[in-house]
A and B are shown apart, each in its own frame.
Chain A
């Protein structure tokens, strides 16, 4: 009995320590975002890394999400004779929920995993130690550019996801199911409000922080996940799983607060 209580206590303290450690990591990196010198060139490279390279996967996912959504919602609405609401429903679902969440999940899979592996390899090949030994702060070079780039890129990719999704829905609703173009778009103008767009924006901004934070943290401490390549592999898996779960959990809480 005593052993079990001690085990639970140790687990709780360990979790508390890890969370504190992660939070301090974010705090250190966030404070460096406002202290010069700023690494503009690195920041531009990370925008390309997160943004340009994730564009294709976000466009494909966005298009098919919009198409599936239109198809399913259309058949549900037809049962109650409200097909005219299809356009606004597709748009609202994408802008408020699916756009930020699915694009963040896609970027996590495409760029987040690569980011953790990259920093993890730098850790095990002593490149991070080399930065430290040159009297430089590795966070400024490895974490800050990613954090800032992710905060900028996540909302932009979510916006692209939304637009492509809405046109994917248009393709199914208008071209395949024979709905009129006017009906699909006209209600959208009235029903999608600025607050809905802002909600999507807040979500994708926070997902940008969550994904870059977790992926950088896991890569930066890849040597604690295990030895050598195994450590990097475990850190990468951990980063993708933790980021994905955190996106969904945070989405619910932020959604409840902003609703």
Chain B
């Protein structure tokens, strides 16, 4: 169980998060959606402990990660895995070394067992015979999958995905979503996905949270979100914009109205 309680974060005069409250149940896959620059990545970094909030707390397995120190903090962080937007693979290490890294550094597992687990993790994400490739020799999709294997190899209880499909073509996007869902079913982790893939992300997540102006505006299952009466949420899901400042041109506005009449994404 992850409880995000009243998280606030600002950078200088800019208030990015202003009282975010969110509960994520054990074993569920939740997507956080919202406009670009709306604070989704800041929220993710705050939950994972990479950023310190100005106020509020994040409780993972009963420990407040914003205040925990020493052994407690280490224990929580060992339960967490993060898939970064660009993969964040170590440039100087091969695919095998990258995936083996958390096992070699954080566990006392023997070399033979590490080899077995790494190969299996790479196979799980559909990568075979690429162990010796370096990140510079891989495509964007391969890098993302190696990064996913690196996250999953240490079997974390909670996995955060920061826009895992950015820059991928529609086929790879679909494949990555399926991989995440399959991995979640296999390992049973709690997953939080920051995503812009609407409506594709609806197919794999259990619930969706809509972040708007630094606060959670709506939370619900994909069905609940699609039948929402909140014009703002529906406008975002359908690409329709009520705020005249956000309309790029009159034509865009007309297209959006046309698309939303049938309540289909």
In the complex, chain B residues whose CB is within 8 Å of the CB of A126: 84-86, 88
Q: Find residues 99-147 in chain B having any chain A CB closer than 8 Å to their own CB.
A: 101-102, 105-106
> Closest approach, in angstroms, between the C-beta of B92 and any C-beta of chain A?
9
Q: How far is the CA of A134 from the CA of B77 in the complex (A)?
A: 7
- Which residue from chain A places its CB closest to the CB of B98 in the assembled complex? A130
Listed by A's residue number, 13 A-B pairs whose Cβ atoms lie within 8 Å are A126-B86, A127-B88, A129-B50, A130-B88, A132-B50, A132-B77, A133-B77, A133-B81, A133-B82, A134-B101, A135-B77, A135-B106, A136-B105
Report if B80 contacts A (CB, 8 A): yes
Question: B residues 73-100 with Cβ under 8 Å of A?
Answer: 74, 77-78, 80-82, 84-86, 88-91
CB distance A134 to B106 under 8 Å? yes
Q: Are A133 and B48 in contact (CB under 8 A)?
A: yes
9 pairs of A and B residues whose beta carbons are closest in the complex: A135-B77, A130-B88, A126-B88, A133-B82, A126-B84, A135-B78, A134-B102, A127-B88, A129-B50
- Assembled-state Cα–Cα distance A121/B48 (Å): 21
**Which residues of A pack against B, CB within 8 Å?**
121-122, 125-127, 129-130, 132-136
Number of contacting residues on B, CB 8 A?
A: 22
Q: Which residue of the partner chain B has the closest CB to A140?
A: B105
Q: How far is the CA of A130 from the CA of B50 in the complex (A)?
A: 10
Give the complex CA separation of A134 and B88 in angstroms: 12
Query: Could you count the A-B residue pairs with CB atoms below 8 Å apart for me: how many are there?
Result: 45
**A125/B77 in contact, CB under 8 A:** no
Beyond A132-B50, A135-B77, A135-B78, whether A125 also contacts B88 by CB under 8 A is yes
Residues of B near A127 (CB, < 8 A) are 88-91
Residue of B nearest to A136 (CB): B105
Q: Give CA–CA (A137, B262) in the complex, Å.
A: 53
- Given contacts A126-B84, A133-B48, A134-B106, list 12 more A-B pairs with CB under 8 A: A122-B90, A125-B91, A127-B88, A129-B82, A129-B88, A130-B84, A130-B88, A132-B49, A132-B50, A135-B74, A135-B80, A136-B106
Q: Cα distance A121–B85 when bound, in Å?
A: 15
Nearest B residue (CB) for A141? B105
Q: Please report the C-alpha to C-alpha distance between residue A127 and residue B86 in the assembled complex, in whole angstroms.
A: 9
- Taking a contact as CB atoms closer than 8 A, the residue among A121, A122, A130, A136 that contacts B82 in the complex is A130
Partner of B105, one of A122, A132, A133, A134: A134
User: What is the chain B residue whose CB lies nearest that of A127?
Assistant: B88
Complexed CA–CA distance, A132 and B88 (Å): 12
Compute how far the CA of A125 lies from the CA of B89 in the bound complex, rounded to whole angstroms. 9
A196 to B105, CA, bound (A): 44
Chain B residue nearest to A124 in the complex (CB): B86
User: Contacts of A132 on B, CB cut-off 8 Å?
Assistant: 49-50, 77
B81: chain A residues at CB < 8 Å are 133
Whole-angstrom CA separation of A132 from B81 in the bound complex: 10
B154 proximity list for chain A (CB < 8 A): 134
Q: Measured between C-beta atoms, what is the minimum distance from A14 to chain B in Å?
A: 14
With most chain A CB atoms within 10 A of its CB, the pick from B74, B81, B101, B105 is: B105
CB B145 to nearest CB in A, in angstroms, measures 15
Alpha-carbon distance between A129 and B90 when the two chains are bound, in angstroms: 11
CA A130 to CA B91, docked complex, whole Å: 12
| Inter-chain contacts of B77 with A (CB < 8 A) | 132-135
Q: How far is it, in angstroms, between the C-alpha of A64 and the C-alpha of B102 when the chains are bound?
A: 48
Q: How far apart are B135's CB and chain A's nearest CB, in angstroms?
A: 10
Residues of B within 8 A of A134 (CB): 77, 101-102, 105-106, 154
